[in-house]
């Protein structure tokens, strides 16, 4: 029999979250970010649920080609660009847009024989990750404008601190740098990630690039997705496969890091760090058991973890355990485990089955075929 752990993917929630994003940016186009297998949610069914977005952004050339072959005609942007001249022919063939962020890419582009390539020029405004130096912007724009391979150029940057809680000095500094060097250049722009989409309307420009918010989670550490009317898309669930009745002084799990101070009842759940649950989640991390809020106890092992059943009523073997999702925001787990919700969603491994929830009508939701990750 199959292990009971599953990740349910709620496609109507994706569609809802796209509509929420539209509310924030009524005058900008939305490039839905679906990199990393759509943040662990599955590429193709996620793209179908987000088909009303204006474009898609991802890193993997193979995934971009997969979208084209599945019939998607949206603009598709490779966020890290291309890595060899051989890939330029595929960009032309499949009409893929590409980021340019360093001189080697410029050199490959200037020596190619391809045409009608859509370029997004990334400018380093202070994050110091990808992008050409701001002082080189005029010369690079001149080089691109004179290149017959280039069809259109869109200007872009990425903010380092748009998700910050208080001090927005760095954000405004980056925005000022971008505006100073590009202000007189009549080209479309894309600046805003999820955090800037929500918090900084001045950064919306022509395109926004939301990622995490589309999957129902908040980009801000002090908030949950529900605070912005977002719905969780992924619910990671499993079942209790064993129950242990413990005496005072008994230990739980590897290392004996948890010792009972009274008689306790614990449930063993078929979920561990090999299933994408954070190994460093401490005792007290919240879980839901048959809809009742409880807590993780002891250390997370590869395939199992323990939850406290002592105060819960009549919990039998095979009871459903929600690790995150509906009723238990992924942000709560990330906060308890001192990580971010991005990591939890993206870390879902292939051994966890995805079960896709798709709305058939306004009044019913049904489970359809499982898509392999």
Q: Which one of 93, 142, 229, 254 is the catalytic residue?
A: 254
Upper half-sphere CA count for residue 197 (Cβ side, 13 Å): 31
Cα distances (Å, whole numbers) of residue 24 to 37, 41, 115, 304, 314 = 25, 23, 35, 41, 45
The tokens describing 52, both together, are: 């009303």
Active site residue 254: yes
**Is 129 marked within a binding site?**
yes
Do the Cβ atoms of 177 and 126 come closer than 8 Å? yes
Q: Exposed, middle or buried: residue 150 (CB in 10 Å: 0-12, 13-18, 19+)?
A: buried
Contacts 24+ apart (CB under 8 A), 329-335: 329/217, 329/224, 329/225, 329/226, 329/232, 330/217, 330/232, 330/234, 331/217, 331/218, 331/223, 331/224, 331/225, 332/224, 332/286, 333/278, 333/281, 333/285, 333/286, 335/221
Q: Which one of 24, 35, 239, 342 is the catalytic residue?
A: 35
Rounded-to-integer distance, Cα 308 and Cα 229, Å: 31
284: number of Cβ within 10 Å: 10
274: number of Cβ within 10 Å: 15
**Is 234 marked within a binding site?**
no
Active site residue 35: yes
Rounded-to-integer distance, Cα 117 and Cα 8, Å: 38
Do the Cβ atoms of 225 and 231 come closer than 8 Å? yes
Residue 322 main-chain phi, psi, to 5 deg? -100, 120
Nearest CA-CA partner of 197 in 159, 155, 226: 159
The tokens describing 185, both together, are: 């250049």
Binding-site annotation, residues for substrate? 129, 302
- Which residues belong to the active site? 35, 254
């Amino acid at each position: 029999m199959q292990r009971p752990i599953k990740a349910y993917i709620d496609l109507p929630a994706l569609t809802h979250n796209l509509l929420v994003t539209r509310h924030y940016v009524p005058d900008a186009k939305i490039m839905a970010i679906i990199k990393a297998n759509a943040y662990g949610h599955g590429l193709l069914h996620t793209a179908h649920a987000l088909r009303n977005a204006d474009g898609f952004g991802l890193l993997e050339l193979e995934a971009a080609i997969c979208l084209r072959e599945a019939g998607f005609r949206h603009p598709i942007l490779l966020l890290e660009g291309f890595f060899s001249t051989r890939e330029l022919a595929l960009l032309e063939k499949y009409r893929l847009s590409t980021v340019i962020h360093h001189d080697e890419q410029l050199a490959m582009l200037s020596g190619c024989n391809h045409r009608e390539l859509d370029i997004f020029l990334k400018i380093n405004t202070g994050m110091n990750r990808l992008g050409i130096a701001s002082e080189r912007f005029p010369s690079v724009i001149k080089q691109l404008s004179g290149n017959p391979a280039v069809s259109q150029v869109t200007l872009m940057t990425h903010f380092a601190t748009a998700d910050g809680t208080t001090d927005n000095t760095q954000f405004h500094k980056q925005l000022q740098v971008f505006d100073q060097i590009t202000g007189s250049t009549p080209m479309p722009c894309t600046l805003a990630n999820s955090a800037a989409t929500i918090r900084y309307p001045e950064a919306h420009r022509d395109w926004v690039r939301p990622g995490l918010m589309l999957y129902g989670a908040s980009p801000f550490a002090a908030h949950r997705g529900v605070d912005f009317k977002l719905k969780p898309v992924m619910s990671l669930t499993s079942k209790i496969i064993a129950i242990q009745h413990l005496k005072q002084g008994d230990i739980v799990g590897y290392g004996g890091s948890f010792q009972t101070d009274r008689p306790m009842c614990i449930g063993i759940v078929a979920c561990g760090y090999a299933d994408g649950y954070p190994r460093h989640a401490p005792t007290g991390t919240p879980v839901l058991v048959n809809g009742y809020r409880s807590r993780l106890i002891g250390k997370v092992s590869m395939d199992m973890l323990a939850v406290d059943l002592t105060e819960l009523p009549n919990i039998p073997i095979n009871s459903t355990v929600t690790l995150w999702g509906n009723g238990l925001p992924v942000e709560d787990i990330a906060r308890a485990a001192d990580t971010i919700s991005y990591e939890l969603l993206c870390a879902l491994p292939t051994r966890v089955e995805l079960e896709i929830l798709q709305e058939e009508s306004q009044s019913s939701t049904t489970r359809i075929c499982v898509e392999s990750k």
